[in-house]
Amino acid sequence: VEHRGSCCSSESADSAISTTSETRRVILLGAPGVGKSSLASGFGAEEQGFGVEPEPRADDTYERSLVVDDEEMTLLVLDTWQQDSSQRVQEQNLLCGDVFLVVYSVTEPASLHTAVKLIRTLRTTRLGERVPTILVGNKSDLVRARGVSFDEGRTCAAEHGCKFIETSAALGHNSEELLVGIVRQIRLLGEGAGP
Ligand code: GDP
Ligand code: MG
């Protein structure tokens, strides 16, 4: 899979990464305000401990290494998606990810519709590839404002061949589980799909 040319401004980032484990690009997609940036900065924060502000790399990029099933993987989380970017820039984002987190807010049914559209666009853009994709229902802490049920989200994910998880970036709920899920999805779909 050779989508990794100069897209996502990640060449400078690549050169700074230790090469002791594999690095995979994680791209966050979703409507504005659903919590993409909050999730991304949370990933970096846990590595550095409580109360430590994560230091974003250049271009809203966060790096996180974790050991899952006795093997290390480094995730480069890119919070570069903007709904109002040009089509060309959006397409570059879709082409350069190894795994996609498509985020909606459980308080905003419209954001689930946006997520579904993005998944469809992703599938079209990466036709014939099994790109690991996780549908993420964020803001699960806002119980009273909930407008999308867990089952609705899960069903929607299943219909579109995605894994599903609900998170609260505000409380850090399920953020480790999400990271582990990312690593497992990459391994699962990566097997036998190599060059
Ligand atoms: P983005 O536009 O998708 O990057 O969304 P942001 O990360 O900037 O979040 C938008 C707003 O939602 C901010 O005010 C966040 O503090 C808030 N937010 C993000 N995640 C959560 C969450 O899990 N729970 C709650 N209650 N608020 C959240
Ligand atoms: Mg943001």
Cα–ligand 2 centroid distance for 29 (angstroms): 10
| Confidence class for position 58, pLDDT limits 50, 70, 90 | low
Cα–ligand 1 centroid distance for 28 (angstroms): 13
Residue 194: predicted pLDDT: 46
Mutate to test the pocket of ligand 1, among 27, 34, 37, 38 (most ligand atoms within 8 A of CB): 38
Q: Which of 16-25, 33-42, 91-100, 121-130 has the lowest mean pLDDT?
A: 16-25
- Please tell me which residue, 11 or 171, carries the higher pLDDT value: 171
Cα–ligand 2 centroid distance for 192 (angstroms): 34
Please write the tens of the pLDDT for every residue from 14-29. 444 444 568 999 999 9
Measured between its terminal Cα atoms, the distance across the chain in Å is: 7
What residues does ligand 1 touch, defined as CB less than 6 Å away?
Answer: 30, 32-38, 138-139, 141-142, 168-170
Average pLDDT, the chain: 85
- Please tell me which residue, 119 or 18, carries the higher pLDDT value: 119
From the alpha carbon of 40, which atom of ligand 1 is closest?
7
Say what the ipTM of the complex is: 0.99
Residue 184 has pLDDT above 70, yes or no: yes
Predicted TM-score (pTM) of the model is: 0.86
Torsion from C-alpha of 152, 187, 177, 128, nearest 10 degrees:
-30
Average pLDDT over residues 36-55: 69
Q: What angle, 0 to 180 degrees and rounded to 10, lies between the N-to-C axes of helices 109-125 and 150-159?
A: 10
